[in-house]
Amino acid sequence: MHTPLPTAPTAADAGQYLALKARDARFDGRFFTGVTSTGIYCRPVCKVRTPKQENCRFFALASQAEAAGFRPCMRCRPELAPSGLQALGAQAWSTQDASAILARQAAQLLDAPQLWSDGAPSMGQVAERLGVSERHLRRIFEALWGVSPLQYLQTRRLLTAKQLLTDTQLPIAQVAALSGFASVRRFNTVFVAQYRLQPRALRSATGKSSYGSTGHNSGLQLKAAYRPPLDEAALLQFFAQRSLAGVEVVDVTQLRLARTLALDWAGQTLQGWVQLQLLPARSEVLITVSESLATALPLVMARVRSLLDLDADPHAIHAVLQGAFPNSAGLRVPGAVDGFELAVRAVLGQQITVQAARTLGARLVQRFGTPLATPITGLTHLFPSAAQLRHSSDDALGQLGIVCQRQQAIRALAAAVADGQLALNASADVPATLVALQALPGIGAWTAHYIAMRALRWPDAFPAGDVALHKALGVREQPRPAVAAEQASQAWRPWRSYATVRAWSLLN
């Protein structure tokens, strides 16, 4: 490990230093501050005494700070910060820079915990999945992010381990495995080399245990941060209006959401529940996870961040959309904990009201869902899996009120997902997935873009054929409203998913 050296301040550094002095949460995760006098790097919201400006170095990513020799602050905990990839990758989407898009996809794959169940992925595996050579991947990755893929991945793994050590009492060996390390020995070696601290010493220093309770719901508790502004009530109201009996319970007044969850992890299916308590005063979410999901905590955390869109950068988004939607800076794109579930619900919602789709979804859960005992009143079932729905009969689906066209679409979706032909998550190839979705029976452009918006986390999805969108944009009476909506949307790239949500909010 080398000692960080000071560098001459720049104009950008001056602006970041002002944000640091103000402890401005809007910049949380957008940069990290390395302090040369201590060798520590912090989030902008850190409450320690503000260091002198000449001792500060600023980094866009935590991995850049660690590559420069800085260690994470124990107080502000950089592992809790929202990801900075969205803002850094926005220009790639807007300019269609192929190399930048590829580098961003590589970072998303390295961030994907579902690839960690058998150890962290190799660069060769990531390059093969993206269809490029490993050498080319390393070159473009370093050009965009300023660190090598291996440095980026190591920081991701170490910060994940740091959070699990701090927030839980999981065994060290399990923490190592969940963080993508092949062995405890390798984990200890890397952790000590990077952080100059034994994993057990970190746990002793924090003295925290996650085995507690939130009300009557015992489980493991972790935290996640987000950048304000966030309209917490509007986000939960969206989920409440679409909640399925047995699967979800939403309390908008208390800013709380709970739901059941099934995860495929390390060759097995885990079943449990998660409860989310939004804490606006701290710009944080308290996450309570059933102990049955303990062996997949990184994946649970990733699903929660996706569900609540915790990694959104409101500042960058509003800079583009404020002209058309000036009073909607706090709105997020509601996500999903399971892409297949979201896709089925999208199919059920084709050309009917939200309430009618909710009724059909609840019937589907009662008929095909797996019963699950939970300590939370109202959570009784898991949403049916792809394996359960792929062989559902016409009669069984028809009795629920699902018409023939949607029956075919649901079974086709289920077969494609169950066979591994279709991945509906944030690390999927968006253009290829849009094509694959629209090749299935009963799925058109509207459904594909709705899935891309909420399940694939594509910020530039735009369901141009949406009738409610036409009404909100004032183009419903035009001869070709979808074309008019598409034309209007060009000014909102690369944030058209957020523009869609803002437009829908105008109708409430």
- What per-residue confidence (pLDDT) applies to 14? 83
Write down the CATH number for the domain with range 212-302. 3.30.310.20
Task: Please check whether the two domains, 11-78 and 212-302, share a CATH topology.
Answer: no
Structure tokens at 305: 């961040």
From the list 9, 12, 80, 88, the residue with the least C-alpha distance to 45 is 80
> How do the domains of the chain map onto residue ranges?
11-78, 85-167+170-206, 212-302
Write down the CATH number for the domain with range 85-167+170-206. 1.10.10.60
* Number of helical (H) and strand (E) elements in the chain, helices listed first: 23, 12
> Listing from the earlier edge strand, what are the strands of the sheet with 40-42?
56-59, 32-35, 40-42, 71-72
Tens-digit pLDDT profile for the chain (508 aa)?
A: 444 444 444 556 788 999 999 999 999 999 999 999 999 999 999 999 999 999 999 999 999 999 999 999 999 999 999 998 876 666 555 556 788 888 888 888 888 876 655 555 677 888 888 888 999 999 999 998 899 999 999 999 999 999 999 999 999 999 999 998 989 999 999 999 999 999 999 887 665 544 333 444 579 999 999 999 999 999 999 999 999 999 999 999 999 999 999 999 888 999 999 999 999 999 999 999 999 999 999 999 999 999 999 999 999 999 999 999 999 999 999 999 999 999 999 999 999 999 999 999 999 999 999 999 999 999 999 999 999 999 999 999 999 999 999 999 999 999 999 999 999 998 888 999 999 999 999 999 999 999 999 999 999 999 999 999 999 999 999 999 999 999 999 999 999 999 999 999 999 8
The chain-wide mean pLDDT, for the chain, equals 91
- What per-residue confidence (pLDDT) applies to 218? 79
Superfamily for domain range 11-78: DNA Methylphosphotriester Repair Domain (3.40.10.10)
The residue ranges of DSSP E strands in 184-290, in sequence order, are 212-214, 217-225, 248-251, 256-265, 268-279, 284-289
In 3-state terms, what secondary structure has residue 384?
coil
Active site residues per annotation: 42, 466
Q: What angle is formed at CA 309 by the lines to CA 249 and CA 29, rounded to 5 degrees?
A: 135
Strands 56-59 and 248-251: unpaired
Angle between helices 445-454 and 430-438 (to 10 degrees): 140
Angle between helices 123-130 and 98-111 (to 10 degrees): 130
Helix spans in 51-148 (H) = 62-67, 85-95, 98-111, 123-130, 134-145
pTM tops 0.75: yes
In 3-state terms, what secondary structure has residue 57?
strand
